[in-house]
C-alpha cells in the first residue's frame, strides 16, 4: 500500500511527491500525459520568489516592466522581481526530483474513480496495460482545474475560464496587459516575452478573437489553451486532498498559479508529516500562509468584474499613484497594490482628477 497516490505530475503534484518521498513516504504519482509538461498551456511569468524555490537555471527572461493599456490610456509598472521561466523544464525538473527521492511515476495513466473507507483509498487507474487497482492512505488531487479527484470527493468546482495563447516569433523585453472589458468581458489579454517568442493570450469570452487581433499578421508558431480556475474551493475531505489548480488556488486577479501550486503542496506535505489532523492542519496553515491572499484576490476579482469598466474612475488614480504601486507591487500579492491605491484614494483624488482633466483637454 502507498502512503499517497498523487494524481497529476504538474508542478503541484511533482513538488509534493518530492517533498513526501524525501521524508520517507511511499508515493505513486500518475499523469495522463505521454510526456511530462507537454502540451504546456502556461506563460511562465512569476515573481522571483518562485525562482528561489525552483532554481535560477529555469529562467529564460527578466522583463523589467509591464505596460498596462486601457481604453483611457496606458501606464507602465516597473519591477525588478518579474521572471519568465521555462514551464516545460520546470515540470520535467520537479518530476525528476520526485523520482530521484523514490516516487514511482506512471505516465499515460489516468484516475478513473476511487472510493475511501476504513482510512484507506482504493483507486482505479487506466493505462495502456488496462485497469489497475491501487491502495493508498491518502489521495492527492494535483490534477489541475478540471480535477477528477475534486469531483470524486464531491467538492464543488470553481468557475473555469477558458484561455487561448498564440506564440509569435518576436523578441520583446516587456510584458503587456490589455484591460478592456468591451473586448475581453471576463478577464484581460496579455503579452509575455519568452526568449525569441512572445506569448499572446486572453481568457474568457471572445479570447480567440482578441488574441487573433493582437497577433495581426505576425507568424503564429503555435496555438494552445488551458483553463484558469477562479476562486478557491474546499481543500479536501477525509483522506483526499486538493492542491494547486485542482483546489482553485490560482490568483483570480492575474490567473497566475505557480507559486500557490508549489506552496500548497509544501503546506500539505508538512501536515501529512505531522500526521495528526491532516486536513485541519492543512487548512489552518494554508490560510495562515498564502490562502488569505488567494481569498483576497477572489474578492478583488469580484470588485473588478463590477467596476473595472469604469476606467474614468480608477485609471487616473493608478496613474497618479504609480511610484507607490511600483514600490509595493508584487505579482504574487496583487492585493498589496490595490490596498495601497484604496488607502491613498482620499489623498490622491484631487491631483488624479486635475491630471485626468488636463490630459483630456489636451486630447
Report the nearest approach of ligand FAD to the CB of residue 363 (Å): 34
Report the nearest approach of ligand FAD to the CB of residue 7 (Å): 5
Report the nearest approach of ligand FAD to the CB of residue 72 (Å): 26
Smallest CA-to-CA distance from 189 within 173, 168, 171, 175 is with 175
Which residue, 223 or 310, has its beta carbon nearer to ligand FAD?
223
Report the nearest approach of ligand FAD to the CB of residue 341 (Å): 23
Which residue, 261 or 271, has its beta carbon nearer to ligand FAD?
261
Report the nearest approach of ligand FAD to the CB of residue 3 (Å): 18
Site of interaction with ligand FAD (CB under 6 A): 7-13, 30-33, 41-46, 110-111, 142-144, 148, 163, 165, 201, 226-228, 244-246, 250, 255-258, 261
Report the nearest approach of ligand FAD to the CB of residue 201 (Å): 5
Which residue, 301 or 348, has its beta carbon nearer to ligand FAD?
301
Which residue, 132 or 277, has its beta carbon nearer to ligand FAD?
132
Which residue, 244 or 316, has its beta carbon nearer to ligand FAD?
244
Q: What are phi and psi of 275, to 5 degrees?
A: 75, 10
Which residue, 30 or 337, has its beta carbon nearer to ligand FAD?
30
Which residue, 185 or 350, has its beta carbon nearer to ligand FAD?
185
Residue facing ligand FAD at closest CB distance: 257
Amino acid at each position: 500500500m502507498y502512503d499517497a497516490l498523487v494524481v497529476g505530475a504538474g508542478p503541484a503534484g511533482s513538488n509534493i511527491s518530492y517533498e513526501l518521498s524525501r521524508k520517507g513516504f511511499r508515493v505513486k504519482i500518475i499523469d495522463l500525459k505521454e510526456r511530462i509538461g507537454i502540451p504546456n498551456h502556461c506563460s511562465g511569468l512569476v515573481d522571483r520568489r518562485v525562482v528561489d524555490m525552483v532554481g535560477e537555471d529555469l529562467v529564460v527572461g527578466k522583463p523589467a516592466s509591464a505596460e498596462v493599456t486601457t481604453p483611457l490610456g496606458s501606464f507602465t509598472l516597473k519591477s525588478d522581481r518579474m521572471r519568465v521561466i521555462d514551464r516545460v523544464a520546470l515540470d520535467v525538473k520537479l518530476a525528476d526530483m520526485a523520482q530521484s527521492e523514490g516516487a514511482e511515476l506512471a505516465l499515460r495513466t489516468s484516475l478513473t474513480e476511487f472510493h475511501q473507507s476504513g482510512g484507506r483509498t482504493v483507486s482505479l487507474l487506466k493505462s495502456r496495460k488496462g485497469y489497475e487497482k491501487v491502495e493508498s492512505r491518502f489521495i492527492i488531487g494535483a490534477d489541475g482545474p478540471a480535477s477528477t479527484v475534486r469531483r470524486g470527493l464531491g467538492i464543488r468546482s470553481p468557475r473555469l475560464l477558458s484561455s487561448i495563447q498564440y506564440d509569435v516569433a518576436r523578441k520583446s523585453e516587456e510584458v503587456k496587459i490589455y484591460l478592456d472589458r468591451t473586448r475581453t468581458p471576463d478577464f484581460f489579454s496579455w503579452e509575455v516575452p519568452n526568449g525569441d517568442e512572445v506569448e499572446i493570450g486572453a481568457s474568457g469570452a471572445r479570447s480567440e478573437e482578441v488574441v487573433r487581433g493582437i497577433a495581426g499578421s505576425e507568424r503564429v508558431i503555435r496555438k494552445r489553451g488551458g483553463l484558469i480556475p477562479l476562486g478557491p474551493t474546499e481543500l479536501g475531505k477525509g483522506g483526499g486532498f486538493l492542491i494547486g489548480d485542482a483546489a482553485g488556488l490560482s490568483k483570480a486577479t492575474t490567473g497566475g498559479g505557480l507559486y500557490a501550486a508549489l506552496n500548497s503542496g509544501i503546506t500539505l506535505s508538512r501536515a501529512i508529516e505531522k500526521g495528526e489532523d491532516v486536513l485541519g492542519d492543512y487548512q489552518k496553515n494554508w490560510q495562515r500562509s498564502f490562502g488569505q491572499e488567494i481569498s483576497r484576490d477572489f474578492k478583488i476579482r469580484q470588485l473588478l468584474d463590477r467596476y473595472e469598466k469604469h476606467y474614468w474612475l480608477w485609471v487616473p488614480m493608478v496613474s497618479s499613484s504609480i511610484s507607490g504601486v511600483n514600490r509595493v507591487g508584487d505579482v504574487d500579492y496583487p492585493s498589496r497594490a490595490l490596498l495601497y491605491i484604496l488607502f491613498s484614494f482620499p489623498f490622491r483624488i484631487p491631483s488624479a482628477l486635475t491630471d485626468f482633466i488636463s490630459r483630456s483637454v489636451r486630447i
